[in-house]
Amino acid sequence: MTVSLAEIRESSGEVFTDGCPTRVVLDHIMSKWGVLVLLALTDGTHRWGELRREVEGISEKMLASTLRTLEADGLVVRTAHPEVPPRVDYALTALGRDLMEHMLPLVGWVAREADAIVTRSAG
């Protein structure tokens, strides 16, 4: 299903205006770390350490911040288990899974075209 920019503007207002909710959501999900954390969780539930290894280069502080933001947005659920040592799992919510159904084709396109784009921009 292809949606035009005109249809998006009609249904949700002006996406380019300052303060528009779409800008806030896009900032959260399309940030460098937001995309990578969401992609990691697409494969299923992960513990903190698994996410750190999966999303190479992310600091503990940035992972914590990104997870808090995505959880507040309703895209990720955090489940703390009453165990010793404590165990915390992170997973996509239904909304997060729905988002990733739409985002995975974009990420696939980027993966296919990245080498050519980077080569063009470097030359």
For 24-37, the pLDDT digits (tens) are: 888 888 899 999 99
Query: For all residues of the chain together, what is the average pLDDT?
Result: 90
More confident residue, 4 or 101: 101
Please determine, for residue 42, whether its predicted confidence score (pLDDT) is greater than 90.
yes
What confidence category does residue 1 fall into, taking pLDDT thresholds of 50, 70 and 90?
A: low
More confident residue, 102 or 22: 102
Distance CA 50, CA 3 (A): 36
Distance CA 28, CA 54 (A): 19
- Torsion angles phi and psi, residue 76, rounded to 5: -130, 140
For 66-96, the pLDDT digits (tens) are: 999 999 999 999 999 988 888 899 999 999 9
